[in-house]
Amino acid sequence: MPNVYSLSVSARMVLDMHSLNNEGGEGNQIQTRMVDIVDAAGNLHNVNAISGDMLKHILAEHFWRLALDCGLPLCAGCQAFNANRIGADSVFAAQVEDKDVTDAALIDEMLLRCALDDIAGNLVTGKGRSLPRKSVVEFGWVLGLPERTTTDSYFHVKYASERSGAKRAEDASEEQRASNVQQAIFHRPASSGTYALVASIEAARIGFNDISQTYVISPEERQERYSILLEALLYTFLQFNGAMRGTQAPHVLGGEGVVAASYGPTPAPTISPVNDGYREEIDQIIAALEPLRPGAVERWQFDALSGLTTIMQYLAQETSPFTLSYRGAR
């Protein structure tokens, strides 16, 4: 069974009429998220975007549901999908306050107690501590391709069935206006286009304590967390969660891209799909790496989400996480 050190996804997704990530509101106008980017030719563009925080939250939710279903260990905070995760676990919090418990021992306890904190990382604070657990999975911003994404604002009305003069006068009162029960108009954005996405997984670090440089959980537990993580990553592509899905769930027209996996201490290459030649560039990198690390990197190309599903199914069932040669290993 091949042992995956790291895995990367460089992909393009076509999403129509979505409002998954917004900045907030000004009056009755919702402001969608826009960012400035530079293309491969050095030209500046302002494009619609979805933050990497949003995608990581989507993955964490899928992983959480799978972990519950498969019986993986979760801390008290993660059992309730609390945003503070293990920080909301009173037993762990007591250990953080104990000066006799070392930082390495705290990370051990985190990895043993919670698969989600292992995968998604966390920052442990308290009693003068600021102890990070770096995330195993990483996402970049999802960027709209210049000239291939558009955003517009659309008029909406919250309709009130009773519009008599007495009712309008009642709704105009300060108390009623504050409770937002009257009829109102508002504007919501919707964006459509082709989006570039990058993600990576440091599979070798699953269950690994970066302070003590040792694995805390068994190979069998690492395998289970790894397989569920890849399944959760796939579901992140298949179900783009986010804001305003109740009435503006995105139309997902499809996706294309490259999945790369490395089988030794070589990073799986990632090139932004904002660049039209991203697939060719990844192939050239792998070819150039071959004399240095023969067979160290493999890649699969997909032209539809069904192809991505097949690739991720294979990786989840037919590969395992690489084991680092850590201090004290024999």
Domains of the chain by residue range: 3-26+31-145+191-321
Chain segment 150-184, per-residue pLDDT in tens:
877 655 465 666 556 665 566 555 555 555 556 56
| pLDDT score of 159 | 60
Q: Which helix (H) or strand (E) holds 279?
A: helix 278-289
Amino acid at 138: E
Q: Which phi and psi (to 5°) does residue 112 adopt?
A: -70, -40
**pLDDT at 246 exceeding the cut of 90:** no
**pLDDT at 112 exceeding the cut of 90:** yes
Q: Which helix (H) or strand (E) holds 175?
A: helix 174-179
**pLDDT at 42 exceeding the cut of 70:** yes
Phi-psi region of 179 (alpha: psi -120 to 50; beta: other; left: phi over 0): alpha
Helices (H) then strands (E): counts for the chain: 11, 16
Mean pLDDT of 183-191: 66
CB atoms within 10 A of CB 141: 22
Residues paired with 191 in a beta bridge? 18, 151
Residue with token string 């995956």: 4
Residues paired with 201 in a beta bridge? 7, 137
Cα 265 to Cα 319: distance, rounded to the nearest angstrom: 16
Q: Cα–Cα–Cα angle for 276, 280, 281, nearest 5°?
A: 90
Higher pLDDT, 269 or 160: 269
Angle between helices 52-70 and 219-238 (to 10 degrees): 130
Tell me how far CA of residue 296 lies from CA of 152, 263, 302, in angstroms.
Answer: 46, 5, 20
Higher pLDDT, 217 or 242: 217
Residue 59 · residue 233 · CB < 8 Å: yes
| pLDDT score of 324 | 94
Amino acid at 103: D
Chain segment 15-38, per-residue pLDDT in tens:
987 777 666 666 556 777 889 999
Q: Which of 41-45, 47-51, 237-241 has the weakest average pLDDT?
A: 237-241
Residue with token string 């519009």: 163
